[in-house]
Amino acid sequence: MEIDQLIAALAPSDVLGRAPVEIAELAYDARAAGAGSLFFCVPGARVDGHEFAADAIANGAVALVVERPLELDVPQLVVPSTRAAMAVAADEFFGRPTEELQVAGVTGTNGKTTTAFLLYAILAAAGRRPGLLGTIESRVGGERRPAVRTTPDLDGNTIRERVPLNPEAKRIAAGQYSRELHPAQLYSAFNSFLITAMLVAFFSMRPPPGRVMALMLVLEGTTRFLLELVRAEPPVLGPMSISMVIAIFVVIAGIVMWIAFGDRADEPAGVPVAA
The SS3 of residue 123 is helix
- Rounded to 5 degrees, φ, ψ at 230 are -65, -40
In a domain, 52, yes or no: yes
- Say if residue 48 is in the same domain as residue 106: no
How many domains are there within the chain?
A: 3
In a domain, 275, yes or no: no
The mean per-residue pLDDT over the stretch 215-220 comes to: 75
pLDDT in tens, 14-57: 999 999 999 999 999 999 899 999 999 999 888 999 999 999 99
Distances (CA, A) of 159 to 102, 125, 175: 11, 21, 10
Tell me how crowded residue 54 is: count the other CB atoms within 10 A of its CB. Answer: 15
The mean per-residue pLDDT over the stretch 92-111 comes to: 80
CB 13, CB 67: distance < 8 Å: no
- Say if residue 87 is in the same domain as residue 8: yes
Final residue of a structural domain among 71, 93, 115: 93
The mean per-residue pLDDT over the stretch 242-258 comes to: 78
In a domain, 203, yes or no: yes
pLDDT given for residue 173 in this prediction: 41
Lowest-pLDDT range of 43-47, 66-70, 141-145? 141-145
- One-character DSSP codes across 74-109: S-EEE-S-HHHHHHHHHHHHTT-GGGGSEEEEE-SS
- Say if residue 211 is in the same domain as residue 239: yes
Structural domain of 156: 97-176
The mean per-residue pLDDT over the stretch 191-201 comes to: 64
In a domain, 135, yes or no: yes
pTM: 0.56
Final residue of a structural domain among 93, 108, 136: 93
In a domain, 271, yes or no: no
- Say if residue 89 is in the same domain as residue 105: no
pLDDT, greater one: 53 or 231: 53
Distances (CA, A) of 144 to 134, 161, 172: 11, 13, 16
